[in-house]
Structure 1
Amino acid sequence: MKTDIQIAQEATVEPISLIAEKAGLQAHEIEPYGYDKAKIKLDLKVDRKADLGKLILVTSINPTPAGEGKSTVTVGLADALNLAGQKTMIALREPSLGPVMGMKGGATGGGYAQVVPMADINLHFTGDFHALTSAHNTLAAALDNSIYQGNPLKIDPRRVLWKRVLDINDRALRHTTIGLGGPTSGVPREDGFDITVASELMAILTLSTDLQDLKHRIEKIVVAYNYDKEPVTVLDLGVAGALTVLLKDAIKPNLVQTLAHTPAIIHGGPFANIAQGTNSVLATKTALKLADYVVTEAGFGADLGGEKFMDIKVPRLGKVPDAVVIVATVRALKHHGGVALADLNEENLDALAAGLENLGQNIKAMQRYGRPVIVAVNRFTADTEAEIDLVKDFVKAQGSQAYLADVWAQGGAGATDLAQAVLAEIATTDADFQPLYTEDAPALDKLQAIVTEIYGGGSVELAPKAQKQLADFAKYGWDKLPIVMAKTQYSLSDDAKKLGAPKDFTIHIREFVPKLGAGFLVAMTGSILTMPGLPKHPAALDIDIDENGQITGLF
């Protein structure tokens, strides 16, 4: 069996100029980055269509080591819609080097449902993440320099919020001490590193509507508190212009293609377990202006990326999903039902029935928004007919329908039934979108709504630090901001070991991180970390390149 990268390397890739033309872009509206990728210019004035296209959101059950294939189904569904004669585009996030070199892998799909150039996208692509890392650390340097140069803003070194970032998993950098080495080496203080995708600049990039909006959002970033416990912002430091200059190209969406030559826009890459988990507003809006159907995805499961898409991105995008597709696999559902990874190829209807409760909660969570929900069963060769029938019967009992997707092996041809079901649902749905909470709802009400209606939990518990923070935030008017939950992706709860669909659990909020530029509060739950670590056998150990420049081991 060929690997993903072998399939990608053997593919016939069309020039990006032809893909742009297929998408409806003119030559002067793109900036080619070599043969097979390009940036789309920000001054794009798309007036080819009277209305925005239809939006299809792909999410999933809570992920497991068994694999779900959300990105693969996203690509396969878009290719299937194009095969059905519908002008379709994809809007995806960019992969981070952390998972690529770590454990999870890339974000370009798999098998014959991939976006290409696969290796480039998973590695340096067009340099967006490097630009974000540079801009973030420029701000960190400016902040420490201000403290060193007489500290005119009276910044309290004990209350600095802005850490440094690196786009790789490196647990040794979670907690650091800087400024050692004497008077010429800065002011000693505690510091640390986050992964680049956790940077507020990443969140801002994906929510900005243009270059000036990007700059204004950057100005609002709270980097520290002064000795009077008042917030200090980037505007106070005076470097918003410089940071915007560093991001002037990174803000432009990237155009590539699938193996079937479906145009794909890939832009931005916040994780959904520690940030908002969606591609950029600019990417999705551009695709909606060009295509009749746009297939997009949100990170991890419906409890994280799906909820944040609905509550964080939709208000800024100005467009709700016309349909939601939840991806599941029989293997992953059996794992949620208690089956060990080594035994997943064996039929186990009892475990599958138990694991289906996780799918049921995620269906319920997405149905809560008033959107039609369809389940895509990403098929594996070991799946039995009895197992597939059990999934279909369960989904039907939840008021939805399940369809097989065999896109890894067949590409778009393996999702024709799924594509037709999505088209039918969109054509017949007239229900109104139902937001989870109102913008002016108190933070505790928003938290409670997320926990009970999306996770199926019981209550929220705030640590003393989090309670005090909310009281302090109220003085600045921050207590009514939308909430981004930073939570384990593996469980509906904040305990990664509680698989399936636990009930009546409590979500524990240890602290809040204000992200004023992005426009939300991050609620840190359980033991979630913003700098991952590498596993015992990281993917980097299997990646190599030969004398001809041929890459191996990249999935």
Structure 2
Amino acid sequence: MAVKTDIEIARAARKQPIQEIGRMLGIPEAHLLPYGHDKAKVDQAFIASLGGRKRGKLILVTAINPTPAGEGKTTTTVGLGDGLNRIGKRAMICIREASLGPNFGMKGGAAGGGMAQVVPMEEMNLHFTGDFHAITSAHNLLSAMIDNHIYWGNELEIDERRIVWRRVMDMNDRALRDIVVGLGGVSNGFPRQTGFDITVASEVMAILCLANDLADLQRRLGDIVVAYRRDKTPIYCRDIKADGAMTVLLKDAMQPNLVQTLENNPAFVHGGPFANIAHGCNSVIATDTALRLTDYVVTEAGFGADLGAEKFFDIKCRKAGLKPDAAVIVATVRAMKMNGGVAKADLGAENVAAVRQGCPNLGRHIGNVQGFGVPVVVAINHFSGDTEAEIQAVKDYVADLGAEAILCKHWAEGSAGIVDLARKVAELADSGGADFAPLYPDEMGLFDKIEAVAKRIYHAEAVTADDAVREQLRVWEAAGYGHLPVCMAKTPYSFSADPTLRGAPTGHTVPVREVRLSAGAGFIVAICGAIMTMPGLPRHPAAEVIGLDDEGFVEGLF
């Protein structure tokens, strides 16, 4: 019998009306703003009413560095949430929204897979509730108002050479990375060089995901530095008078999206910054609301723990006052073999030696997460070709590090296949063993913070940056931004800045090419190596096989 695709499984789901899912959480129907029958936003008034409630336990799901073999972090996040509910715990899932860029590119969607999915899968991976469109529109409204201000006389004396606010769109398009605008004569403004980033790299996205409420959102938007004068003094979004209109565009997008898993358990899907070029976590408002509605919240952070988990701890938890109670690191036997030097075409053959050789990548992530004071358990996301000897090799390696690895079969079996992990996670979260602390203090210098991440998380020997980068950091420190955390923009495929260097490398150098101030979001972005804030499409993008079937259903999404 043919194995059903993710989209076929999702389409066959027996969904509950979204009002029923809200009722499970104690959300009155009047406080749900439905988008169709199976998704809804939760209004700000209800969220504000939860302020006095005690928070539940926070569980982070992270992973090893991604490989072409697949790891299944979101699938495990969804499966674990279902598993906790199966063993009688009141649990909720919080994940990010999917960007159209990877959906039509190479990576695919972000709704889980197999029998551990959030539905409706098609809508989640396409336009969903329009949040990304609102973020794109708000960002580009500010871009338009900057150029319009210059056109009408430039009262603020903006130096056109020092406009740092670019444009965004939610699609991979390498041709837009560096462009010239304002061509075509006097009526079209003044020509200047600029470019596009992908929407998930927008500071507006980061702000929406870190803001506590609409007032905080508008304050943060107003704090965005958009340009500089000739004397290098900053010009803010509020100087352009765009912050109010941007808040209006983002009013509905600020409200978390409530959906459900295949097993009808509640999930918030809200916000979507990438972890390789942004901070990689779902919104603070969704996570905090979920923590006040349930006893356990399972959330994820993008890509491997060197990026997503580090930013979850050092940016999201620091800024929102969150204290994680446990962490799950997802790994697969197949990925261990790839880290051990096995080619993708040869992953089907048993190779215990390669598994052992690849395990140090997992081991480094375990040590890094434990270094934040958070108890760790490893989830071995099961593939049908895994052998007992290979699985045991991973378990033995993890046991030698003082942790536990648990085999999980949620992709094939849903919550029934992840009960052992759910019990272990609940045990860790309830034990009170977490003693969370960020990697570095606020008062540390900005370049020292970059070095702390590179040396302690990536195990690099050194960080290189030219004098202009170092001077820019000193200028920002003098301007009062020295207390901000750093957000490393780096390849997700390696601990180094070289995506081909797998395993657990040491002695490498992390080159910081550029730094950007995200004053509204509240962090400094350090762009390392060849990482791009506007991705390109692969030779054969997923878009080539996406379409509608004869009955009008979407096919080809994954």
Name the TM-score class by shorter chain: over 0.9
TM-score, normalised relative to structure 1? 0.98
Distance in 2 (alpha carbons) for counterparts of 1:55 and 1:189: 47
* Most deviating of 175-184 and 40-49: 40-49
Mean Cα deviation higher: 180-189 or 543-552: 543-552
Give the aligned partner of residue 346 of structure 1.
349
Candidates 18, 24, 27, aligned match of 2:26? 24
Q: Residues of 2 paired with 1:131 and 1:553: CA distance?
A: 26
- Deviation of 1:49 after TM superposition, in Å, equals 8.5
Secondary structure, in 3 states, of the residue corresponding to 2:524?
strand
Q: Pairwise mapping of residues 356-505 of structure 1 onto structure 2 (< 5 A)?
A: 356-505=359-508
Structure 1 SS opposite 2:44: coil
Residue 154 of structure 2 corresponds to 151
User: Where does 1:20-169 land on structure 2 (aligned, <5 Å)?
Assistant: 20-44=22-46, 45-47=48-50, 50-169=53-172
The list of structure 1 runs, each at least 4 consecutive aligned residues, that deviate by more than 6 angstroms after superposition, is none
- How big is each residue's C-alpha offset from its partner over 1:259-295, in whole Å with a ceiling of 9 and x where there is no partner? 0001000100000000000000000001000011110
Q: Is 1:208 the equivalent of 2:211?
A: yes
> Contact 2:446/2:477 (CA < 8 Å) preserved in 1?
no
- Alignment coverage as a number of residue pairs: 555
Counterpart residue number, 1:510: 513
Identical positions, percent: 56
> What is the distance in 2 between the residues matched to 1:63 and 1:229?
41
Q: How far off its partner does 1:398 sit?
A: 1.3
Deviation at 1:185, TM superposition (A): 0.7
1:321 to 319, 324, 331: 324
1:50 shift after superposition: 4.7
CA-to-aligned-CA distance 1:130-167 (integer Å, 9 cap, x gap)? 00011111100000111111111111111111111010
Q: CA deviation at 1:46?
A: 4.8
- Structure 1 distance, partners of 2:41, 2:8, is 26
Question: 2:235 & 2:53 partners in 1: Cα distance?
Answer: 44
- Partner SS for 1:43: helix
Are the aligned partners of 1:379 and 1:406 in contact in 2 as well (CA < 8 Å)?
A: yes
Displacement of 1:355 after TM fit? 1.2
Query: Could you tell me how far apart the structure 2 residues matched to 1:146 and 1:352 are?
Result: 59
Aligned amino acid, residue 351 of structure 2: N
Residue aligning to 2:4: 2
How does the TM-score come out when normalised to structure 2?
A: 0.98
Give the whole-Å Cα distance in 1 for the aligned partners of 2:506 and 2:373.
23
Q: What CA distance in whole angstroms lies between the structure 2 residues aligned with 1:458 and 1:195? A: 31
Residue 475 of structure 1 and its aligned partner are, at CA, apart by 2.5
Q: Which moved more, 1:295-304 or 1:338-347?
A: 338-347
Q: CA offsets, 1:198-218, max 9 Å, x none? A: 000000000000001000000
| Unpaired runs of at least 5, structure 1 | none
C-alpha distance after superposition, 1:275-329 (max 9, x if no partner):
0000000000010000111100000010001000001011232221110000000
Q: 1:46/1:290 Cα in 2 relative to 1: closer, same or farther (>3 Å)? A: farther
Shift of 1:449: 1.6
Secondary structure of residue in 1 paired with 2:535: coil
Match for 2:267: what amino acid? A
Deviation readout 1:312-363 (Å, 9 max, x if unpaired): 0112322211100000001111111111111111112222122111101110
Q: Aligned match of 1:196 in 182, 195, 199?
A: 199
Deviation for aligned residue 1:471: 2.3
One-letter identity of the residue aligned with 1:118? M
Does 1:13 pair with 2:15?
yes
Which sections of structure 2, spanning at least 5 residues, go unmatched? none
- Give 1:258's aligned residue: 261
CA distance in 2, matches of 1:140, 1:416: 49
CA contact (8 A) 2:447 2:473 kept: no
Answer whether contact 2:83 2:416 (CA < 8 A) is retained. yes
Match 1:268 to one of 264, 271, 277:
271
Q: Secondary structure at the match of 1:523?
A: strand
CA RMSD for the aligned pairs? 1.2
1:299 aligned residue (302, 313, 325): 302
